[in-house]
Homo-oligomer: A and B are copies of this chain.
Amino acid sequence: MPQAPSEKALIPFVSVENMMRLIHHVGIERMLVELTDAIEADFKRWETFDKTPRVASHSREGVIELMPTSDGEMYGFKYVNGHPKNMAKGLQTVTAFGLLAQVSNGYPVLLTEMTLLTALRTAATSAMAARHLAPNSAKVMAMIGNGAQAEFQALAMKAVIGLEEVRLYDIDPRATAKTANNLTGTGLKVTPCTSAQQAMEGTRIITTCTADKQFATILTDNMVGTGVHINAIGGDCPGKTELAREILLRADTFVEYTPQTRIEGEIQQMAADYPVTELWRVILGQAAGRRNDRQITLFDSVGFAIEDFSALRYVRERLAGTNFYQDIDILADPDDPRDLFGMLQRSKT
């Protein structure tokens, strides 16, 4: 008779359903705040991490990426795809899962869905950047692009920097209606708009989050006034940008990890030595963030492995004492580690 797998062979797996239960258990806004703090804590120890640009496999239809990192104690990676045409087929543009393992023995300790978790950590990272870069008075945000990320962005800004109103625009009015409907009852004032220009009226934070894989100009130069913070999260792979080049020339640009952002971010439009500031240095007080009320700050966000690491670490801590996971038997664990074959033989019923 096959024996039950030993404890060493089992690792906790968080399914999509369990991730949703965990989010509701913690409360989405509280989870966004805690994630923001978890990411900020890891950005503060930036130099501890092993940093590799993601390993990307590009195809005509999209990209599949592996994003590994390690702090020397734990190792994490995320599998994530980006397929802009998926939506038309009724599939997610981005799906993801991730894994955390112990560096000392290489054994995984957590496997989890990361489609939802990536939406949360992306929003938390945007909120973290806004906490350091947006004008203090910013209570209204324009949200250009009302896809799967939109509500998470709005709620993270509410929970972390006290956003009061979000002004929505998407080229597809159904996307705007979906987002407006989902945000009803969250305490945010929600204003659907019929143009990007209208959405940006009176706002000091502008979030762009559109999905086309092409050089697009979601924002032109004349649309952007002084004293705003631009949170650009849609330009995140080679050939995909959202902002007119002229805006970048007027702004101070902040990035996660420069070598990766030069390939994937808005700054792929600029020269290789275009000046940028890494956000972790602002958080540590080593570089200036917002200096005055007329400055345009741009967070050229592409998503970085450390944010996923923080999210994985956070989920692992948050799972303790809950039942929001199932144990899966993914590791062969013979009694004698040299006797893999014996384990196989003895399993024969």
Contacts and interface: CB of A to CB of B under 8 A. Distances in A.
Nearest to A152: B341
Interface residues of A, number: 84
A295 interface: no
Given A20-B347, A328-B15, A340 B55 contact: no
Copies of this protein, total = 2
A170 to B, nearest CB: 9
Given A64-B75, A90-B337, A101-B81, A52 B50 contact: no
Interface stretch (A112-120, A187-195, A254-262, A275-283): A112-120
A341 B107 CA distance: 33
Given A86-B337, A178-B338, A342-B178, A107 B91 contact: yes
A344 B113 CA distance: 13
A16 B332 contact: yes
Interface stretch (A39-47, A92-100, A199-207, A215-223): A92-100
Interface in A309-331: 328-331
B105 A337 contact: no
A87 interface: yes
A24 B348 contact: yes
A17 B336 CA distance: 17
B337 A106 contact: no
Contact of A338 (B9, B21, B101, B148): B148
Interface stretch (A66-74, A124-132, A134-142, A296-304): A66-74
B91 A8 contact: yes
Given A15-B328, A81-B105, A329-B17, A57 B68 contact: yes
Contacts of A15: 5, 328-330
Given A106-B82, A339-B182, A55 B52 contact: yes
A115 B347 CA distance: 15
A228 to B, nearest CB: 25
A238 interface: no
Contacts of A115: 331-332, 340
A225 interface: no
A9 B5 contact: no
A77 interface: yes
A107 B79 contact: no
B62 A106 contact: yes
A83 interface: yes
Contacts of A331: 16, 92, 95, 97, 113, 115
A151 interface: yes
Interface of A: 2, 5, 8-9, 13, 15-17, 20-21, 23-24, 28, 50, 52, 55, 57, 59, 61-64, 66, 68, 70, 72, 75, 77, 79, 81-83, 86-87, 89-93, 95, 97, 99, 101, 103-108, 113, 115-116, 119, 146-148, 150-152, 175, 178-179, 181-182, 328-334, 336-345, 347-349
